[in-house]
Amino acid sequence: MKVAVIGGGIAGFCAAIALGRIGVDVDIFERSSSIREIGTGLSLWPNATCALRELGLLDSCSRAASRVKKLRLWDRDGREWASVGIFGQATPALCLGRPALLSALLSAVDPKRVHVNQGCEDVSLESEDSRKPRVHFKGGRTLTFDAVIGADGLSSVVRRFVTGRVERPVYRGYHIWRGVAEALLPFYAEGNITEAWGKGERFGIMPIGDGKVCWYATRNQPETASPQGKAEILEHFRGWHPPIAEVIAATPDSAIVRTPALDRPPAWIWARGPVVLIGDAAHPMTPNLGQGTCQAIEDALALSLLLSRRGSIETAFHHFEKLRRVRAAAIVVGARWIGGFAQSQGWATRLTRNGRLPRSFLSGALEGTFHALHGYRAGSTARAERALYKWPA
Ligand SMILES: Cc1cc2nc3c(=O)[nH]c(=O)nc-3n(C[C@H](O)[C@H](O)[C@H](O)COP(=O)(O)OP(=O)(O)OC[C@H]3O[C@@H](n4cnc5c(N)ncnc54)[C@H](O)[C@@H]3O)c2cc1C
C-alpha cells in the first residue's frame, strides 16, 4: 500500500512512523523548504505518552523532557486557588520543546521518504472506478497513491477535499504569546506548571528540560490588534507574581511568538474514500487543555491499528472517523469553553479567584477532567473497534 502524508508536522511524522511499523509504504510531503524544528513548548499528557510508548517513541521523546508532577492555578499575586497532582497513570506527563519532539520523530523516519518544498494544492480521485487519490503539488506535479493522509494543520488543503467546504478558522477573542527562557528555576524543575489568572489575561510557566522554561501569556483583544513585543508584554505583566518578569526578561524579543486563539467547529466528516484527516487538519483546538498534539499522536496510533486489519482502506478510514470524532469534538468544545471561562471578566471567574468556591471543589473538578482526558487509551479503543464492530470488505 502506497500512502502519501501531506504535512511534516507532529501529526504527519507520527502517522508515518505508525504506518511504517505495520509495513505501509509511506512518503511525507511538506510545503516548507525544511522540516522546521521550531516552536516553543508542549505538554504531553499520559494519554499521549501512552500512545508514544506503543509506537516505540516514548524513550526518545522523554530524553529531552521534564516530567510534570503538578498543575497549579494561581491568581496574579501567586495565591493558589486550585491544583492537581499528575500521578496514578502508567506513563508520565511530560513537557518539552517542540523542536526536541520533532527531532526525536525525525530520527525515527527514513530521510529519503521526507520530501520538502512539496506544497499540496489539491487532492482529487483518479476516477470514480479506481478510487485512487491523486495529489496535485505546487508547480504542476501530480502523484497517485492508494491513500492520502491530510496532516496539513489548521488551514488544511486536504480538509477542503474531504469536507467539500472552505471555512475560515474562528478567532476566540484573545491572542497568545509564547517564549522559551533559559532560566534555572528549581520550583519549575521539580515538575510544577503554574498558570495565573487575571481579568481577561493569563500567564503560564512550565519546565521543558535542559534548564529551560516555556511561558505563555494570553490577553483579550481584537483579532486585528497590532503586534506587541517584549517591552509591552513585560509592562503589561509587571506586578504579577515572580518569576514572571524574570522569564519574560530572559527571553530574546525575536523568540517571542504571538498566535491568535483559533479553532473550528468540530468536524463530523474526517474521511472521503481513501483520503483521511488527522491532527489539526481534522480538529484544530484552542490550547487550553494542552491536547492538540496529544490528539494528533492518538490519531496516528488509532489509524495504524485500524489499517492493520485486512479490509479496504475506505473501511478502515470509516472506522477511524467513527472512533475518533466524538472524543476530538468533546475536547475541541471543552478547550474552547475553558478558554472562554478563563478569559472572561465576569462573575464566574471572579468567584474562583476570590476564594468563594472552596479550593477542594475546584481542585476536584480539575482532577475529574484530567482523569477523563488522560486515562483514555487510544490503542485499546482502536483494537476494540477493530475486533468488535461491523467490518465489511
Ligand atoms: C499557543 C499554543 C500552545 C499549544 N500547546 C500545546 C500543548 O501544550 N500540548 C499539546 O498537545 N498541544 C498544544 N498545542 C497544539 C499543537 O501545537 C497542535 O495541535 C499541533 O502542533 C498540531 O500538529 P499538526 O501536525 O496536526 O499540525 P501542524 O503542526 O500545523 O503541522 C502541519 C504541517 O503541514 C505543513 N503544511 C501545511 N499545509 C501544507 C500543504 N498544503 N502541503 C504540504 N504541507 C503543508 C505545515 O508546514 C506543517 O509543517 C498548542 C498550540 C498553540 C497555538
Ligand 1 center from residue 44 Cα (angstroms):
14
Q: How confident is the model at residue 363 (pLDDT cuts 50, 70, 90)?
A: confident
Q: Ligand 1 atom closest to Cα of 154?
A: 30
Say what the pLDDT of residue 311 is.
81
Q: What are phi and psi of 138, to 5 degrees?
A: -55, 135
Nearest residue (by CA) to ligand 1, atom 3, is: 287
DSSP per residue, 156-224: -HHHHHHHS---PPEEEEEEEEEEEEE---HHHHTTEEEEEE-SSEEEEEEE-STTEEEEEEEEE--TT
- What are the C-alpha distances in Å from 265 to residues 14, 159, 198, 289, 291? 24, 13, 27, 16, 16
Instruction: For 130-166, write each residue's pLDDT tens digit.
Output: 789 999 999 999 999 999 999 999 999 999 999 999 8
What is the average pLDDT value for the chain, to the nearest integer? 93
Say what the pLDDT of residue 310 is.
79
The CB of 290 under 6 Å from ligand 1? The reply is yes
* The CATH homologous superfamily of the domain defined by 2-40+99-169+264-343+363-388: FAD/NAD(P)-binding domain (3.50.50.60)
* Choice from 95, 143, 152, 376 to test ligand 1 binding pocket (greatest atom count within 8 A of CB): 152
Of the listed ranges 53-62, 228-237, 296-305, the least confidently predicted one is 228-237
pLDDT of 236 higher than 80: yes
Question: Which residues partner with 67 through β-bridges?
Answer: 94
Indicate the SS3 state at residue 259: strand
Q: Ligand 1 atom closest to Cα of 36?
A: 49
Of the listed ranges 36-45, 153-162, 233-242, 372-381, the least confidently predicted one is 36-45
Q: How confident is the model at residue 39 (pLDDT cuts 50, 70, 90)?
A: confident
The CB of 16 under 6 Å from ligand 1? The reply is no
Q: How confident is the model at residue 355 (pLDDT cuts 50, 70, 90)?
A: low
Of the spans 12-21, 219-228, 364-373, which averages the highest pLDDT?
12-21
Ligand 1 center from residue 169 Cα (angstroms):
14
Ligand 1 center from residue 297 Cα (angstroms):
12
7-23: average pLDDT: 97
| 304-323 burial code (b ≥16 CB/10 A, e <16) | bbbbbbeeebbbbbbbbbeb
Please check whether residue 28 is in contact with residue 109, taking contact to mean a CB–CB distance below 8 angstroms.
Answer: yes
Say what the pLDDT of residue 354 is.
63
Say what the pLDDT of residue 359 is.
79
The CB of 178 under 6 Å from ligand 1? The reply is yes
The CB of 92 under 6 Å from ligand 1? The reply is no
Nearest of 287, 274, 320, 263 to residue 202 by alpha carbon: 287
Please check whether residue 194 is in contact with residue 72, taking contact to mean a CB–CB distance below 8 angstroms.
Answer: yes
Nearest residue (by CA) to ligand 1, atom 20, is: 293
Nearest residue (by CA) to ligand 1, atom 35, is: 7
The CB of 279 under 6 Å from ligand 1? The reply is yes
Nearest residue (by CA) to ligand 1, atom 15, is: 292
96-103: average pLDDT: 95
Of the listed ranges 48-52, 88-92, 99-103, 261-265, the least confidently predicted one is 88-92
Instruction: For 292-314, write each residue's pLDDT tens digit.
Output: 999 999 999 999 999 998 788 99
The CB of 120 under 6 Å from ligand 1? The reply is yes
Q: Ligand 1 atom closest to Cα of 152?
A: 34
Ligand 1 center from residue 153 Cα (angstroms):
5
Cβ atoms within 10 Å, residue 165: 9
CA distance 72 to 330: 24
The model's pTM is: 0.96
- What are the C-alpha distances in Å from 103 to residues 24, 85, 96, 107, 327? 22, 29, 12, 6, 28
Instruction: For 338-347, write each residue's pLDDT tens digit.
Output: 999 999 876 6
| Peptide linkage before 252 cis (omega within 30 of 0) | no
Q: Ligand 1 atom closest to Cα of 295?
A: 11
Ligand 1 center from residue 235 Cα (angstroms):
30
CA distance 377 to 288: 21
Instruction: For 322-339, write each residue's pLDDT tens digit.
Output: 999 999 999 999 999 999
The CB of 332 under 6 Å from ligand 1? The reply is no
**Percent of the chain at pLDDT exceeding 90:** 83
Nearest residue (by CA) to ligand 1, atom 52, is: 287
Say what the pLDDT of residue 350 is.
67
Say what the pLDDT of residue 243 is.
97
